[in-house]
Structures are given as C-alpha cells and as structure tokens.
C-alpha cells in the first residue's frame, strides 16, 4: 500500500503593516517573526495584529538564488524555503558574507541550508549539548570535531519568517568545528548558546533538489566540511601499492632462482708501475654457457691511500668481437679532529648486459701510482637488484602523486581556518 504524501502546510496571507506588500506565513504557530523584503520591517508573527518589531535598510540587497516559498526534497524529506538571511563577518579588514536559507517541514521542523563560496551545508539543531574535549576539539554523538574557525557573525539582511526574533544588526560569536563531511557550529549571544550539526552538500545536489534553473554558484577553494575525494581511495591505494611491490619482489626472486649465477672466472694478479710486464694481464679462454644474459665483473684490490684504473676487454675467442669497459677504484683514510674518516672503497663492480654464449678471454690493463694486488671475478647470469628497485620506484610514483594531492587538498581546506597547516602532512578527521 503506497504511503500518502504529507499534506501541504497551511499558509496565512497578510499585508506588511509598514508598506502593504503581500506576505505569507508558511509555518503558522511556529514562526515568531516575519521579515518584509520590500521595506525591511520585521513583524511579530505571534501578535494577532502583526505589530512591527524593527526596521532595517534594504538597499543593495541581492535576491536569494533559491526563491522563498519554493519546495524541494533533501535527504529524502520535503522542505519549503520560508526564510533567508545574509550574514557577514570581518577578518583582517576584509568582510566576508554567507547566505542562510531557513527550511520548514510540518513534521520535521526547521533546517538551515547554508551557502558560502559555493559550498553548501544542511544543518539542524543538535540533539543535546556537545562537549568540548580539548582546546581545539568538540565531541558529539561519539565523533570528534576539530575547531576550524571563530568569528563574530552579524545579520546584514533578513526576509521571510523565522522561529525566533531576528533582525538586521544581530550579532553572535560563531565557532565552527569540522569532521568532514559533518560540521558542528556553536553560536553564542549574551542571552544563550545554541549548537547545530550540519552535513556538506554539493551545489548540484541543491539545484536538483529544488529543480532550479541554470547552474549553482561555482565552489571556490575547499569547503571547511567538504569531504576529501582522496580519503575513500587511500586504503585502495595502499593495498594496490603493496600488491604491486610484492609482485615485483616475487618476480625478482623467481628470476634469481632461474638464473645461473655461475662463477666462470676468478683470477688474481699483481701490478707494479715500475714493471712493464705487469701492465697487461690476459686470462686463459673460458666458457660463458646458456642463454644470452649478463656478466657481473667484480674487481677487488689492495689499494690504500691511492687509486687505480682498470681497462677490461672481454673478447670472443671465435669471432674476435670485443667489449671494453673501464673501472676506477680509490681508497683513502685517516683521522682528524672529528675522528676517523674514510673515502672510497678498494673494490668495484660492473654488469655487462646481453653477452652471448661462447668462449672468451679477458684482457686487463691496470694503471696506478703505486703497486697493488688485484683480483677479477666474472659471474654469469646474475639478476640485478637495481631493476627491482627501479620497478618499485616507478610503482611508487602514482601513490606519491596521490598523497601529494590529498595533502594539498587538506592544506587548502585549513588555509582558511584559524589553524593553517603550514605545509605539514595531513591528519584530518576524514583520513582512513
């Protein structure tokens, strides 16, 4: 059986006691005042004669983007716009303003639809009194909200009906706390303190809810309670990075197990700069077997407080094809006022990629100012850790960009608050 929609609220029509403009009361019995947008008079809605309570200036007033009286559906409930006010605050000689629409539903009561710089919040009176658990935090229904901003808000313009006495010039100290996409607001006057809790909405959602023509005001910057588009994907990004890095390491381990890693040459020589016979050394032919793969050349020396340079040539004994490469080692050490120090190492290594199978000889031509012993080792088909590190580095680039954007989003959010983050990493309440 289909549920019947709630009946439309009764409407009381009257004329402004000040200028005669037609007015409507859409929440009879619940509205306390009704403000005339034509002349600025504020009428007592509880008085049978609708006496004038106050008047205010109505020059240079911008018409609301959501007209009074229009109906829409937000969060699955029908609402009607019955009031509208412009509020402003002054920060560092600059004046900032925002808009607040009062919504009414006969069964649900009142809601505030707040718009600031194209960011929207649907707010209602908090159920109970939140607690301030720390200097910059408040707690409500088990959630902690971070203090965002404190400002002195002044009512600049009102029109429509309201459930309390409101007029231009009213002021209140407003404290905003955020836990995206939720916001908690405390308003303090000399008479009382009220708390409200709100949820962030996009302009498109508001426009769709009230079937408004055109497009909503463009959102400027990041809203205080705007949910981060990155936080919901943080866990997925971490899991994907862990999965891909694990896969890269496993692939490297598989290649390591399938590689020959076979020592094909291990030979030692002496070098003396005064003996020409030691200027060149050549090995006996040796075999590089298996598939085409790399060769790791390792050189270790007894060089100390000196340097040595090696020119190595790997020659195919059958085709005379050759590969020449050079390596330099240096090793110095000592002690000074800061203690012992060293510079360099007496060994080096090099990878020769894609060496075909065959019979080879190695020619070594050492140079140096002092005599030393040296040893050359050649190992066939050795997996390079460099490749797995390069793969991990490439895999880390997307997460780095992702987390940089996430941190920048939070920096932009808090840059407008009383507690700017000043480039530090994000720790917002909506993080995973």
Q: How far apart are CA 408 and CA 392, in angstroms?
A: 24
Residue 190 has pLDDT above 90, yes or no: no
Residue 2: the pLDDT is 39
| CATH number 3.30.2000.10 is the correct assignment for the domain at 260-382 | no
Q: How far apart are CA 69 and CA 65, in angstroms?
A: 12
Mean of pLDDT values over 134-139: 87
Residue 58 has pLDDT above 80, yes or no: no
> pLDDT band at 432, cuts 50/70/90?
very low
Identify which of 223, 214, 42, 36 has the alpha carbon closest to the alpha carbon of residue 122: 223
Q: What tokens appear for 47 in the block?
A: 């008085």
Residue 61 has pLDDT above 80, yes or no: no
Mean of pLDDT values over 269-289: 94
Residue 60: the pLDDT is 54
Q: Percent of the chain at pLDDT above 90?
A: 61
Q: Can you list the positions of beta strands (E) in 321-398?
A: 322-336, 339-345, 347-355, 358-367, 372-380
Q: What tokens appear for 37 in the block?
A: 């947008």
Lowest mean pLDDT among 35-44, 76-85, 131-140, 328-337: 35-44
Q: Give domain limits for the chain.
A: 12-225, 260-382
Taking only the tens place, the pLDDT of each residue in 287-339 is: 999 999 999 999 999 999 999 999 999 999 999 999 999 999 999 999 999 99
Taking only the tens place, the pLDDT of each residue in 389-407 is: 899 999 999 999 999 999 9
> pLDDT band at 59, cuts 50/70/90?
low
Average pLDDT across the chain, whole number: 88
Lowest mean pLDDT among 4-13, 53-62, 105-114, 190-199: 4-13
Q: Can you list the positions of beta strands (E) in 52-130?
A: 52-55, 71-74, 77-91, 94-105, 109-116, 119-125
CA distances to 25, 193, 417 from 96, in Å = 30, 23, 13
> pLDDT band at 57, cuts 50/70/90?
low
């Amino acid at each position: 059986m289909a549920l019947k929609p709630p009946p439309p609220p009764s409407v009381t029509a009257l004329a402004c006691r000040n200028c005669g403009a037609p007015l409507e009361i859409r929440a009879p019995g619940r509205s306390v005042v009704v403000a005339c947008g034509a002349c600025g008079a504020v009428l007592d809605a509880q008085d049978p004669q609708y006496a004038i309570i106050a008047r205010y200036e109505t020059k240079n007033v911008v018409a609301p983007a959501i007209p009074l009286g229009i109906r829409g559906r937000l969060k699955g409930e029908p609402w009607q716009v019955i009031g509208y006010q412009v509020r402003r605050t002054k920060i560092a000689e600059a004046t900032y303003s925002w808009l607040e629409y009062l919504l009414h539903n006969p069964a649900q009561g009142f809601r505030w639809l707040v718009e600031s710089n194209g960011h929207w919040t649907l707010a209602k009176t908090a159920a109970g009194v939140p607690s301030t658990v720390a200097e910059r935090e408040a707690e409500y229904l088990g959630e902690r909200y971070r203090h965002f901003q404190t400002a002195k808000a002044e009512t600049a313009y009102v029109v429509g009906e309201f459930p309390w006495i409101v007029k231009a010039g009213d002021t209140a100290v407003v404290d905003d706390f955020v836990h995206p996409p939720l916001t908690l607001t405390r308003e303090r006057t000399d008479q009382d303190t009220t708390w409200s809790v709100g949820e962030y909405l996009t302009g498109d959602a508001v426009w769709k809810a009230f079937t408004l023509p055109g497009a909503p005001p463009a959102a400027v910057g990041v809203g205080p309670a705007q949910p981060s588009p990155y936080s919901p994907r943080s866990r997925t990004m971490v899991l994907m990075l862990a999965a891909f890095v694990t896969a890269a390491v496993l692939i490297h381990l598989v290649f390591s197990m399938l590689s020959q890693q076979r020592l094909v040459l291990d030979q030692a020589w002496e070098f003396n700069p005064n003996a020409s016979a030691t200027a060149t050394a050549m090995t006996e032919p040796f075999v590089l077997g298996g598939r085409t793969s790399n060769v790791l050349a390792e050189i270790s020396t007894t060089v100390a407080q000196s340097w040595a340079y090696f020119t190595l040539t790997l020659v195919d004994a059958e085709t005379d094809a050759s590969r020449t490469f050079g390596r330099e080692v240096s090793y110095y050490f000592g002690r000074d006022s800061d203690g012992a120090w060293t510079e360099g190492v007496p060994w080096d290594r090099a990878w020769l990629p894609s060496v075909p199978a065959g019979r080879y000889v190695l020619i070594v031509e050492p140079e140096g100012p002092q005599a030393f012993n040296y040893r050359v080792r050649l190992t066939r088909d050795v997996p390079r850790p460099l490749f797995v590190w390069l793969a991990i580095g490439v895999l880390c680039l997307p997460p780095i960009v992702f987390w940089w954007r996430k941190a920048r989003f939070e920096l932009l959010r808090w840059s407008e608050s009383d507690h700017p983050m000043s480039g530090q990493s994000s720790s917002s309440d909506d993080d995973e």
